[in-house]
Structure 1
Amino acid sequence: MDTRHLLFVIPSIMILFSIIPAYAEVTSLSTSAPFYKGGSKIIFTGSTADTDPPNITIIVFDPTNKFITLLSGMADSTHHFQVSLDTSDQSYSQQFTLKGTYNATAFIATKENGKTANFIFSPDGSPVIPSSPLSLTASVPSSTEIDISWSAPTNTGGAALSGYRVDRSADNGATWTTVAPNVINTVTSYPDTGLAPGTIYSYRVVAINPAGPSDPSNVVTASTLASNQSTSSTTTSSSGSQGNSSSLSLDELIKQRLEDAKRLQAILNGQTPQSSGGSLQGNTQQSINLTESMSVEDVSSNLPSASSGNTTQGPVSIPVNWNNVIYPAIALVGVGIVVFILYQRKKLAPSMPRIKKESPPVPTPHVDAASEKEKEDEDYALAILKNRLAKGEITLEQFKEIKDELSEP
């Protein structure tokens, strides 16, 4: 290369470094369908950041994670791109021979900063096993029942689901028992009844289609309630009426608080509640059970130590849950420690210069207008491959294989 070429290449490389962002990446990638059969066209669509260059590279791997092919495309003015792959083409039909889940990654500068999409391919069109059910959860309505629910798999394997299988374990997943072999495919919940009270159970769900069962879903664990435990608690007021405070309306809740306050004031004054009338007579012992959290420490010191006559003042029974005070205090102390450590690390950490990630150089454009575009795309892809080989992202064997494919007419 003579001096004239060097004078042209060096400024081109400097311009490319100023154009390509240090962390350029594809922001989204998807396929037109989750399942494809032999001879169909696979269409990849996605988007890029508005600061990224338009050149897109897509690499495809088979179910064994072996590299198959490299595709390239361009994003339009709205920063969206679409790249198609026709499996009926002879060059691709010889590569798409395995049945299973393939994955494709689209990127601009490096694969790590790209996006990956999965799709199922079947050369003969027969279905494959579906993907696993998602988001399995459990709820406990009673001491003998656990209800589970889940979401359908994102990919049914190219065929409709025939149903779901529900497995249960009573030994933390060491052994599993099928409790529902064929839940209808349109139902994504199951109530498991007849269980032992106060017992821990684990559950998993499997999707089934004509190709077979999927891998199990996530495992969820729940414990049935104890035999004397209830899902809703009730409280008894001083007048003897019962009710669940969580089911009361706002007006009813305010009225109840006012009544409790009146009864508490009557007891503090040595009187009976207004509903009884008069003062306390005989050895009457009064107590009140508040259904709402109230602060009574300020008035506890004003309780009368004794009463006149034969009237006996009983203690005011007000339950206090110390967990509501201790646990927040511990959490607050923990947050303070973490903030102090982070502040000290930030204060002591030395300032480091930011390192700008280098991007591959732009090849020298050819003067021939007829082959300029083709040569530019080939050199650009080859430059990217060399850059990845130098960084260890691909092996030498993969580099040679892709290079030979690019050099084919």
Structure 2
Amino acid sequence: MADKTRRTASRATNPTVSRTTWLVIVLLAFVGQVAWAVENNFLNLFVQDSFGASLQDVALMVSASALTATLTTLFVGAWSDRVRRRKVFVVAGAALWGVSIIGFASIQGISDTLSPDATQAARMGVTLTIVFDCVMTFFGSLSNDAAFNAWLTDVTDETNRGRVEGVNSAMPLIAMLAVFGGAMALMHVGDDGTVTYDYPALFVTVGVLVGAAAVVAGILMRDSHPASSVEQGWLRGVARNFSPVAMRENPVLYLVLLGYCIFSTALQVFMPYYVLYLRLPYVLGEDYVFVMAPGIVIAAVFTIFYGRRLDKLGFERAVRLPLVLFVAGCLALTLLTSVAGVFVGSVLMLCGYLGAVACFAAEVRNNTPADRAGVLQGVRMFMVVLVPMLVGPWIGSAVSSGSGAIGGFGVVGDGFTPSSLIFLAGALVSLAVVPTLVAVRRRRHAVE
């Protein structure tokens, strides 16, 4: 009964989203996702192209970053609950985030200077990239994952969260499109068809963009001043949200988080290697951007409009279509290697991915207690980022290393080449979401 009461109360107390608030949401969501797009896609390419990193190195970097993001969000989110302020964390964190991104431009020079031996320099380059990634993730999570996402929960309610999450969830792909589109000017194509980039210029450009967004947010953003936390101690308040007591008080919230965790794990089975796979010479090669771009646009438009349907349909009904699209797209990517096949599979997968994320994220916000929006961003990160990134990439790495199959037809590449079987593995993991949705529905019926 507590869940239903909280949901009804939030509708009456949260304000309408103003035009200025919309502007801040779009700006911070877009710029934040541009930074994450560089981390999630170009750091993988950078560490492989510059230092010859293996897929295991990439998996380690993803896992270390996920751990840093989760711990930062958990403790900074709880801190922002206690001080009842979000803006200072968003603005200061974004400014330092931009500086840390620019720092990546110096890694190759540092490793070459400290290690004259080429092999040692490469290993140091991999190590420094992982360390710098954790530093960047700390500031990014402080600003975006902890403070901005808590603020977003504060300023929305059940009548508009689907619409807001439709836009917010589309931003990763819109940002990816902007990043890859801009990176085309920095692209270098080798004689053998391999693709690389002017990474220092990319890092400096994105770092400056994030810093500029911090300045604009400092001017336009209005603090939400959330309700005071009921917890007496900071660490006690953090720990309590992982306890059975909190789960009994908010059963729907934790069931939705469990489903979100499973889906995110399925996504992470292949997403860290998605671009690496597409740019293989025998898949799409240097033309991969031209195939990805229209697919991203279609998926982003779908998600923005589907978010409006989410407000009307409700979570249980709305999430079904995206899950079906996701599985269908993964199966197509597993079996097809033609340009048309990869395009169709990517569109279906991306539409399903973003649509499902919008549904899960909005429902998590709908069931978040008003006085714990900050600390629960850390719980969300634990369930949706840390666990999936600790598990998913290693599944994908194991599948690729164990098979070497390309296109699902047994064509053998080297042991570290991404295999199309990673998409099949992702589809199979995503099926485990279904029991959690059944449990959410039964819980809702029991309360009603």
Whether these two folds match at TM > 0.5 is: no
Structure (1/2) with the larger helix percentage: 2
Short-chain TM bin: under 0.3
Scaled by the length of structure 2, what TM-score is found?
0.17
